[in-house]
Amino acid sequence: MEIVASSGEAEYVQVHGGLLFVRRRIHGQYSRVPLEVLEASTEPPPDALDYRRVQADRFLLFLDPSLRQLPRELHLAVRGWSRRRVRAYWDGCAFVL
């Protein structure tokens, strides 16, 4: 898995503790077509000890154990004006393939 992040994203993660946690979230679970998306955070979740650790260039990446298959590329982006957050994209897509 290749982590695609510019120096801006890497610096954002470093400033916020140097750890990035990525997990999958199901939207519309009770609808006809539920959609799986990735959620990224610099705050550790309660079950962080179960996450898979991956060393990126300038920070540590922790992946949710429910991600059985990994993307070829994990794209990171910092979004938002008033409340900036890190977003994770599966092979460049907003949803999990």
Quick one: residue 42, left, alpha or beta (phi over 0 = left, psi -120 to 50 = alpha)? alpha
pLDDT band at 97 (very low <50, low <70, confident <90, very high): low
What sections of 1-97 are H helices per DSSP?
7-15
41 pLDDT higher than 90: yes
Task: For residue 21, count other CB atoms closer than 10 A to its CB.
Answer: 21
pLDDT band at 96 (very low <50, low <70, confident <90, very high): confident
The partner residues of 74 in beta bridges, in order of sequence, read 3, 90
CA distance 15 to 32: 40
Residues 6+ apart with CB under 8 A from 15: none
CATH number of 2-90: 2.60.300.12
Q: Domain map of the chain by residue range?
A: 2-90
